[in-house]
Copies of this chain bind each other. A is one copy, B any other.
Amino acid sequence: MYRTHQNSDLTINHLDNHVILSGWVQKVRNKGFIIWVDLRDRYGITQLVFDEERTPKDVFDKANSLNREFVIKVEGKVIERESKNLQIPTGEIEVLVENFEILNESKLPPFTIETETDGGDELRMKYRYLDIRREPVKDKLIFRSQVSMAVRNYLSERNFVEVETPYLIKSTPEGARDFIVPSRMNKGQFYALPQSPQTFKQLLMVGGLERYFQIVKCFRDEDLRADRQPEFTQIDCEMSFVNLEDILQTFEGLTKHLIQTTHNIEIEDFPRMTFDDAMKTYGNDKPDIRFGMKFGELNDVAKHKNFKIFDEAELVVGIAIPGCASYSRKEIDKLINWVKRPQVGAKGMVYVKCNEDGSFKSSVDKFYTQEDLQSWAEKTGAKPGDLIAVLSGDTNSTRAQLSALRMEMAERLGLRKSNEFAPLWVVDFPLLEWDEDTQRYHAMHHPFTSPKAEDEALLETSPGEVRANAYDLVLNGNEIGGGSIRIHDKTMQSRMLELLGFSKEEAQNQFGFLMNAFEYGAPPHGGIAFGLDRLVAILGGQETIRDFIAFPKNNMGRDVMIDAPATLDEEQLKELSLKLDIEE
């Protein structure tokens, strides 16, 4: 037997008990005549004591060889500590060791296995199995498991069936790039790994399952941006005989349940905002509404005052940054440089200090009176003590730039509180977006999303104005889920693929099985997919997903621990009827 108790179990109630414990040596304090060892397992830490007087001599001598991360099994008696540590559950006792066994030795680990570690990112990834021993990483993996179980229980109780859809499917050129898998038995042919189970879940609806979900890995061969992974996990859901309202209610319920379960916070009904309003008010279709700094559009009050930059701009728009009127010239210059960085891309920034005495001091006092600036303050909701930052230019870029500034300032001012949760539905997305490069429309969501019934006529005249039955669930400025009511009519689906520039043949080739399925009584249906990695990270109070993934890949898609991807035996490629085609 390796243990009678876990290392979190023993308290003053166990005094004099004879116990067996196992775990890792977290720390050794050797005073020569007495040795204390912190013994760690997944559940906690128990202090062991070896003592020249009370411990058998051979046991005491062997204890001198113990070092960090050795794995041991000890037997001993629970005794009361002289100096108690009331921070941990076992802090009132220690175990006087009578005998112990070294189950495995350990080399000195490359970084310390403690909450605050000295290991850098690369080192931690290479020795991920040691990193996972650290409490913050281990706790995140356990937290993820708990969130997944909460999702599964919530949905199962509501008649959702978890169905495993296939991983070896067919490549579709639409959307992001697929990872492909050569088939040995079907020479010259390839499977693709799914970017999502989208078509399969729709087929399950055609199949009459009515309520489906799956927590499932998905794959995208994209050039990786920071905090993206080539494989990621979705909570994928679909329902039949529902309208948009049914879906929002169901998954709002799920999200409330998760916030309740993980943080014991009750959230009222989630606010809803149209895509247009989100763009106008926050310059962003996934606004963080934990804080204000709403956009104030200033065209009416800032144009035609001889300030050429604003006169020539399509949009002049500002935000009130709370409490920053006291910024020094140097601080403001730094902010201006920040918005001019290529990642943000503004050409410059106009500012107005709203002084405590009600007066204004701006970088454009030459053009604007105090009354003018007063109206800017009103439009942006600025109060005395705030700093108004104003950007201008074409509408889309200016909004994006001001949104970036808004987020940056919220971060700096500590307004993005990780224990506050502000969910938001964004609705009424455009169905299509025009792509200048290819000179054709792209589906903003995906080609299976239905247009709003009242906008269907516009499909013929101005497709760009058609709104979709699509919705995103935003939490703390991150899109955590998105979905739509699908097209369930074969004619409408063909029409849509035509609008997206698919020839009849391409459409049949790629989506034929779905369109054929639609000929046999497809029910009205819709669904949503949540990004589990991000959802768990945000519920865990963080924005980076990496530590919530057991074995993440780096920005080159490499697993540095196992050193994958790797070259193959030539034999393996030959069996697949492939050869490398690399220019030297």
Contacts and interface: CB of A to CB of B under 8 A. Distances in A.
Contacts of A203: 128-129, 551, 561
A82 interface: no
Interface of A is mostly: loop
A419 interface: no
A250 interface: no
Interface string A57-71: 000000000000111
A547 to B, nearest CB: 13
B182 A180 contact: yes
Interface in A158-194: 161-171, 173, 177-193
Interface in A182-212: 182-193, 199-200, 203-204, 206-211
A344 interface: no
Contact of A185 (B41, B556, B581): B556
Contacts of A69: 520-521
Interface residues of A, number: 124
B561 A513 contact: yes
A298 B151 CA distance: 59
Interface in A409-454: none
A565 B522 contact: no
A553 interface: yes
A523 interface: yes
Interface stretch (A253-261, A361-369, A571-579): A571-579
Contact of A568 (B42, B156, B171, B242): B171
Interface stretch (A142-150, A289-297, A313-321, A464-472): A142-150
Given A185-B223, A557-B185, A558-B186, A22 B241 contact: yes
B130 A520 contact: yes
Contacts of A404: none
Interface in A534-584: 549-551, 553, 556-559, 561-569, 572-582
Interface string A272-292: 000000000000000000000
A35 interface: no
A138 interface: yes
Given A521-B104, A579-B581, A565 B190 contact: yes
Contacts of A308: none
Given A173-B569, A181-B565, 7 more contacts: A71-B523, A132-B207, A142-B161, A148-B162, A168-B553, A190-B565, A200-B551
16 contacts: A24-B208, A41-B208, A41-B210, A42-B208, A71-B522, A103-B524, A104-B489, A129-B206, A130-B206, A130-B207, A132-B207, A166-B553, A168-B219, A171-B566, A513-B561, A513-B563
